[in-house]
Structure 1
Amino acid sequence: MLTRKQYDLLTFIHDRLQETGVSPSFDEMKSALDLKSKSGIHRLITGLEERGYIRRLPHRARALEVVRLPENTEPENLPIRNRRVEDIRQREIGTHASTVRGSADSVQLPLYGRIAAGTPIEALRDDAAHVEVPAALLGRGDHYALEVDGESMIDAGILDGDTVIIERGEKADEGQIVVALVDREEVTLKRFRHLGGQVGLEPANKSFQMQIYRPEQVNVQGRLVGLLRRY
């Protein structure tokens, strides 16, 4: 699953390679996607690379190769453009949803879709979906579930396709694995780090780099309290 901007960037790179045989520059990508900085392009490229859509060719400047294109011609389930930020936030953390009780030993939690254990992506939302989890995994707080997309947390035992149980909250201690809302539009699962006057979102995979942001760019949405896996 690609975000709208990831899909647009992949299409732009592919079309340029088909036309000229040379990948576009960061400035050209920034202009094509109407972004304000090259850091946003770097983040999108990293996301595409982590998901196996593009590959950076070593020892060559501006060398990108499109490995594959999405199976669908359009990205699926993307959020509506120009939606109010507060509406996005509410949908991300389920502020309007309540926990549904299952059997005596289980609880049905709202399942809000897939969250990146890689570069931040826009999480899918489906208010009708639920997942049944053991009641013993839950504390006294409010909880919701997300499916993991990506492999950047594998060294923490969190694999692609796992379901993580999140306790809602806006604060995190050093080193806790959290759901973080980045730039008020993208959601990711990472280990939270305080870096002086900045915030680090650290992967648990040596292949991926820590992403560093200004504090105002990151809003903690909850912390990891449990994990479910199907075999």
Structure 2
Amino acid sequence: MRVPCLFLFLARNRHGFRATFSNVRSFVAEKAHMADKCWRSPKLRIEGPRQARPQRPSPILDPLSMLTLKQRDLLHFIDDTLSTTGIAPSFDEMRDAMGLASKSGVNRLLTGLTERGFVRRIANRSRALEVVRRSFDQEPMPLPRQPVNLASTASVPLLRSGVDAVDYAAGGDIGTVDIPSALIGGGEHFVAIMPDRSMLPRGILAGDKVLFRRVGMLDEDDIGLLALRNGQLCIRSVTQEGALVRLQAADADVRTRWVEKDQVILAGVIAGIVRIYG
């Protein structure tokens, strides 16, 4: 049997064995003492829970970072055009500048800018766009307020249903409603009640009495009322594309409709809203 060399050496020399064992014991005791000293040292001992690392300050966000690249480009294009010419660009100009295939793409970009408070659409005017603010740290500019004389009213035809619209388009008599005269300008006007919440993002609530001015056909993306031959009333954003008319709700969950232009028997562009609180 083979025996380790160290064991044979220690067995032959008792004094050497004792000396070796004593050296090992001293070495172990010295290391234990050093470890205990390090643990008791106030500079090296860690007491209490580990401190969390200080958080880095959040980077300053670009004021326009919430916009998509296309929305940002369109906002700059509208702002530059208004600053240069004093007139907002048309849908065709915006479509060409953004490299889009149709005007519906421009309408989606404008809707996003409007919902985020960068652009305001002015009703009853063509090319009616206004840059409200250029960054999120700016407050929206207040709407101009004009005093309205509520004492003076005028009776305006009230379209309660598609049947009323058909009768009104044919020259028949229907019911009326009193509207402040200050809201009525030139031309023929009528009122319809908003039946649902499909135009809520554009500021029209269910139950609002919406005043319309009768027109032959609406301009691009006007909010208007269309009465169809089948007796339907539609209050939508209206866009003509060839022989078809696109009826788009402001609520993205509502399906966009397309109707033939010859099915429209009555059209009106929005002129005001009458809302009763309480």
User: Which category describes the TM-score, using the shorter chain as reference length?
Assistant: 0.3 to 0.5
Q: TM-score, normalised by structure 2?
A: 0.40
Q: Does 1 or 2 have the higher relative contact order (CA < 8 Å, sep 6+)?
A: 1
**Greater helix proportion:** 2
Normalised TM-score (structure 1): 0.47
Structure number with higher strand proportion: 1
